[in-house]
Structure 1
Amino acid sequence: MSHTEVFAPWDDPEATPLISCQDVTKRYGEFTAIERLTLDIFPREFFALLGPSGCGKTTLMRMLGGFEDVSGGRITIDGQDMAGIPPNKRAVNMMFQSYALFPHLTVWDNLAFGLKRSDMAKDQIGDRVEAMLKLVQLQKFAKRKPHQLSGGQKQRVALARALAKGPKLLLLDEPLGALDKKLRQQTQFELMDIQEKTGTTFVIVTHDQEEAMTVASRIAVMDEGRIVQVDTPGRIYEAPNSVYVADFIGDVNVIRGRVSALNGESAELNWGEGKRPIRATAGAGAVHDASGAFVIRPEKVTIATEEPTDRHNRVKGVVEDIAYLGNLSTFHVRLESGDLISAQLANSRRFANRGITWEDPVWLSWSDTAGLVLGD
């Protein structure tokens, strides 16, 4: 696929999904883990299921893999209804967080193990193992046992083993959870690269929003067994459909009030007696004269010591805290209303922004289109 073509089968009404969930429900006794969930995932997608612990993402993945039965509704994979079809009869493989490698077998034999039990011709197994070792760049480690490998290398062996049989769908359950932050970021790019090379559809379960934003073509944000929003990372970040999604993905400032004006793409929020209403872009669920919430990302808020008279949205406060993150500084500013608002500044010079410090009175401002007014 060339990078000039935009990969967006979900926008094409003619495209056939690889996975289709229709009204899928999963109950454990009285408890409903998944509630009438409908979702399509397309071939070659790198799809992320994202949400807090207990939101149902792992249950949904286990149903795709055949490790859990569906209580209601249906799941089809590649056009075939999956009801009653066991895991080993599905064109699906699952990679677990624990990697589950055989400790007594070499890397080479770990990769060959499943292939020897499949219907692959014996004389093709060696070539397939070599191709998988090359894919994950572990040719030099073929003779090592798992205990002689680092966490990142074990992770790549597990990935190669999961891909060896050429599944149409690979399920990854928190696959990078055991790795440290730097290695995790490096491995995310490796995963994307391997997914693109093999053309396999990947579905990843994660509670790490940065990970989902980095690897996925689309993200489903889940809450209490339901999908709250499915969209591309960029759309979910810039146009969340609820305060829950805005708050779950990245840092966000939230100010609650009443929607006082709604006019096409723009909205105003009244947020207190005698305060200038906030002007913003009208977002999902905003209803005139109903309660609403203004959400804005810290990087879209400007901080200054002088009042910026050229902007309608400007508020006064005092710097309560400063977080210095090397490339960024985040200022937490307490407004006169009691609200705490964060503003982020890029540190382009080594001792930049030293003009503003703790307890300083400051002005925060933002453009009329920088934030969203959402229904609350």
Structure 2
Amino acid sequence: MAQSPSSSVFAPWDDPTKKPLIRFEGVTKRFGDFTAVDNLDLHIYEREFFALLGPSGCGKTTIMRILAGFDPPSEGTVWLDDVNIAPVPPNKRPVNMMFQSYALFPHLSVYDNIAFGLKRSPMPKSEIDGRVQEMLRLTRLEKFARRKPHQISGGQRQRVALARSLAKAPKLLLLDEPLGALDKKLRNDTQFELMDIQEKTGTTFVIVTHDQEEAMTVASRVAVMDNGKLMQVATPDRIYEAPNSVYVADFIGDVNIIEGNLRPQEPGKVLIDWTEGEAPIRAEANGGLTEGTRVSYAVRPEKIAVSAERPDDRANVVQGKIIDIAYLGNISTYHVQLPSGHMISAQMTNSRRIERRDFTWEDTVWLSWTDTAGIVLTQ
């Protein structure tokens, strides 16, 4: 969540006095012999924008359906605001869900789509118009109130669905791949709109996505999942910079994974023997790792510098040949093959026009990085 410079950092998960809004305690969900969610413990806090991230079939949508009330857990308890919600039917929960398809009524106007749920709620009829107008202003749809869904753009339909979901002021809003139908540029713009609306309303959002960039952009915390288990739950910067496993490091963004055998040095410093003919990798690592431990070393491409001359001031230096170049406009990714056969990716910002690029295919280059650039993983 964005914060003003004068405000404190939003991190209720680090405050032992804060009670979570949602608690999963030992939750398992089975469909026949298949375990979709496996003994899950998870806390989500009020006003949080929480992302469930993982590949198809990892269990993230099942978690959302359990929260919505569509699927009861096979084992365990789910608490919402200290209430066990297992016996509470979906329509009685202070929870709303926004589907990827938006599920708008094509024959109703934008105004009537937003008002639909309110007209069937206990809200006095005299208050409905004011609430709908408030939602129209929040989502910047005032000019489109009388249009039908087919008369507005995909991004505007997405905002109508969001306004309708928020109209009844739920404690929790579930978003199932909400931006999947939008093109990339509109999706990027809408991510920031979602964050702004979430902060203005103070509603707790839980989003399901397989888009790593989307999760890293919008979420206060990200839960990376695999095979029904939580692999890591942390803030986006911790997930990216300090993954707890090879799976998380590899799933989030681009990364070089190098395997080797560890040699502890002075406290906090290690060497990793990884291939014949190359100097050991110098890295920092927590204590407790013993000589010869098999480890994986993860270093992001943007942490690796590319140069024509051998640098003298870097802890790790290797030489290789450029095999491929991926030009992405603002950056270029260089795939460099070492004499050992290892392929290492490095990224450079394209600060000059492409025809003035320093390196091209088949060039021999030096790759270098610091001893703090990567992370040592044991799982």
TM value normalised by structure 1: 0.97
Q: Deviations over 1:236-261 (max 9, x none)?
A: 11100011111111111111111222
Confirm or deny that 1:175 pairs with 2:178: yes
**2:277 and 2:340 in contact (8 A); partners too:** no
Query: SS of the residue aligned with 1:40?
Result: strand
Q: Deviations over 1:309-346 (max 9, x none)?
A: 33231111100011111211111101111111111111
Letter in 1 for 2:229: R
Query: SS of the residue aligned with 1:147?
Result: helix
Confirm or deny that 1:275 pairs with 2:278: yes
Aligned residues: 376
Match of 2:95 among 64, 89, 92: 92
**1:295 and 1:372 in contact (8 A); partners too:** yes
Distance (whole Å) between structure 1 residues aligned to residue 94 and residue 272 of structure 2 = 51
Deviation for aligned residue 1:291 = 1.3
**2:267 and 2:287 in contact (8 A); partners too:** no
Confirm or deny that 1:315 pairs with 2:318: yes
**1:241 and 1:285 in contact (8 A); partners too:** no
**1:304 and 1:362 in contact (8 A); partners too:** yes
Match of 2:294 among 269, 291, 294: 291
**2:96 and 2:174 in contact (8 A); partners too:** yes
RMSD: 1.5
Distance (whole Å) between structure 1 residues aligned to residue 317 and residue 341 of structure 2 = 15
Query: SS of the residue aligned with 1:25?
Result: strand
Distance (whole Å) between structure 1 residues aligned to residue 303 and residue 180 of structure 2 = 31
Confirm or deny that 1:139 pairs with 2:142: yes
Deviation for aligned residue 1:196 = 0.2
Distance (whole Å) between structure 2 residues aligned to residue 230 and residue 162 of structure 1 = 26
Tell me the residue number matched to 1:373: 376
Q: How does 1:178-217 map to 2 (within 5 A)?
A: 178-217=181-220
Confirm or deny that 1:129 pairs with 2:142: no
**2:49 and 2:219 in contact (8 A); partners too:** yes
Distance (whole Å) between structure 2 residues aligned to residue 295 and residue 276 of structure 1 = 17
Tell me the residue number matched to 2:348: 345
Tell me the residue number matched to 2:61: 58
Q: How does 1:16-165 map to 2 (within 5 A)?
A: 16-165=19-168
Deviation for aligned residue 1:288 = 4.0
Deviation for aligned residue 1:352 = 7.4
Give the stretch that moved more between structures: 89-98 or 272-281. 272-281
Deviation for aligned residue 1:233 = 0.3
**2:264 and 2:289 in contact (8 A); partners too:** no
State the identity %.
65
**2:113 and 2:164 in contact (8 A); partners too:** yes
Q: How does 1:222-261 map to 2 (within 5 A)?
A: 222-261=225-264
**1:269 and 1:373 in contact (8 A); partners too:** no
